[in-house]
Structure formats: C-alpha cells, structure tokens
A = this chain, B = another copy of it.
Amino acid sequence: MPVTIKDVARRSGVSKATVSRVLNNIPVVREDTRRAVLEATRALGYTPDALARGLTTKKTRTVALVVSDIRNPFFPEVARGVEDLLNNYNYNVMLCNTDGRPEKEEAYIRLLLEKRVDGIIFASVKMGASDLSRLQKRGLPFVLAGRTLPGADADVVVVDSVLGGYQATMHLLQLGHTRIGYVSGPAGVSASVDRHRGYEQALRHNGLDPSPELVAVGDFTQEGGYAGASRLLSLEKPPTAIFCANDIMAIGALEAIYERGLKVPEDVAIVGFDDIPFARLRNIQLTTVMYPKYDLGAIAARMLIERIENPAPDRLAKQVILPPRLIIRRTCGFHLGRSTPGATT
C-alpha cells in the first residue's frame, strides 16, 4: 500500500540506487534522469522512510530533551530554544519529563538508546556522573544545559550562577540592606550552591559575615520558597531582604511575606533568579537575575549537533558560561529611591 523507493524506481525506469542518489542530491546523476525520478516521486507521492534510512546510516536526526517537568516555567523557554535551533539543522526533539527521579531517567535513557536518538540534552539530571559516563561509552553524545555535574567531563552550558548570586546580593547591599536571607535550592545542585557562593562573596566584599541562620534550604518549588521564607521571617531578627535561588521560590516567599501582613518591598525586599514569565507581570514585578533560557537551549542544541556531526571522540569537553543579568523591577525596592531599607515599624 505505501509507496516505496522501489515503486519510484519502477515508474521512472531506473534502479533503487539511482532514486536514492537523486533524493539525496548526490550529484552524479544525469540531469534528465534526475528530473524523471523527481517527477515519479511527486506523481506517486513518495515519502522516504526515515526508519529504513536510519537503519543503514545510523542517524535518526532526532535528539532528546530531558527535563524534570515541562510545567516548570523555566523549561518551555529552553525547549523552544532547543527546538528552533534543531529545526534549522533538520533535527527533531523528543520530550522527556523525568520529575527528577533517577529511575525515570534510567528508563528514558534505555528507551532513547533503543530509539537510537543521535544525542541528548539534559536540562536537568539527577543521575550521577558515572551513569552519564556509561552514555559516553556507548558513544551517545550529550550536553548538560543549565546544570553542571561534578566529575562529569561533558559539554556544558550554564550561566555564571556565582556571578548572578553576587549581583543579586550586591544590589540588595547597595540598597542598604545588611541582613539578607538566602533561600537555597536542594543541596548539591550546582545552580543552588553556586548562587549561594555568590551571595556569600558579596556579603564578604561588604565586610559582612554570612550567618548560617539566614540561609534556609528550599527545593526550587513554590512551597519550598514559602517554607524557607517563613522560617527566615520568624527569626528573632528577621532579614530585611531575601534572595531566592529561583523565581518560583520567590513567588512562594512573596506569599509568606504577605501572609504576615508585611509589604514588599517596604518591609522586606525580594530578589529571585531566572526571570521566568511570572516575574515581569505587572502585579508581581519581581527583581531577578535573568537566565537566558532560550539561548541556553539553543546553545546546548548547537553544541550537541556539533558533537554529533563531528564525533572526534577525544575532543575536549566544552564549557559555555553565559553571563547573568540583574533585572531591577519593584520587589527589591530600588524604585523607592531610598538607600536605607525598611525594618518594619
């Protein structure tokens, strides 16, 4: 029923091989043969079978994008960046949600291996470096986007989270805050610890001592932000500003603050990280550190394609570090133009 290359060959009076050559633009075919084949192709409505092709060429022109949950507003932007770039090179994206659960990651990897994807972009990984190195053994190219993995020597693209954390904290310091809290992400995750590091650096550069009681560990979720901020706010001497390791937690933090009848930024200032779409809503106006998510995806995709199409196995891992950019909106209080922050009452 479906029309195959053989049908095209028959109709145009040539062999399968020639049809194949025409369709792949191998420039040895005589012009009139080429035309005849093309004509037959059109007449028959022939669609080549990528499976069959892939079977011999070992290429599927498909790559997987692994995220924890596409509903996390960080990821759609990344995904779009990935897809747009991939499209330019005629690749496709397979979307994989893992919820950050290692067993789901495992399952997906196995599946992707079976489907013979050409490569994988990990926009989130929970697995250890050792699991990833199994991929390398297999010769399956991959790149890490938005997260590094200690010990894995793989292509990576991230923003400079240390710098971002530094900028955010510095900004708050310049507004006069001296008690600044930090709501972190899960322990061990590079994005979180790096931002923490930047936070501490900024404090130190201003002669302040980072105090452990001012950092609450969160988990990158809204609830985590809420809980973390709550803890900080119920301190004997609560912070006058809070830097959250990502915007979603900042949203949760806002909630915690409002719930206590406090005002943002008058009573407590907030800075987030990522600049997800929420952040710029008129009713939110979250000051945050912008993470170039679309670019992250696009760059990761480009690096992956580079790896795929130029598989020098000994090529060094490439690291791309994107610059973060502080976006000043209203939750930091900058627009109030004061330099002494409000301790309540």
Q: Which residue numbers of A lie inside 8 Å of B, CB to CB?
A: 1, 47-52, 54-55, 60, 62, 65, 69-71, 73, 75-77, 79-80, 83-84, 92-97, 110-111, 113-116, 139, 251, 254-255, 258, 277-278, 281-284
Contact = CB atoms under 8 A, between A and B. Distances in A.
A95 B97 contact: no
Contacts of A283: 254, 281, 283-284
Contact of A278 (B65, B116, B278): B278
Contact of A70 (B62, B79, B116, B284): B79
A160 to B, nearest CB: 24
Number of copies: 2
Contacts of A139: 1
Contacts of A60: 51
A92 B111 contact: yes
A100 to B, nearest CB: 14
Given A47-B113, A114-B48, A281-B251, A80 B69 contact: yes
A111 B49 CA distance: 10
Given A49-B114, A50-B115, A71 B62 contact: no
Across chains A and B, which 3 residue pairs bring their CB atoms closest together, nearest first? A283-B283, A95-B95, A50-B114
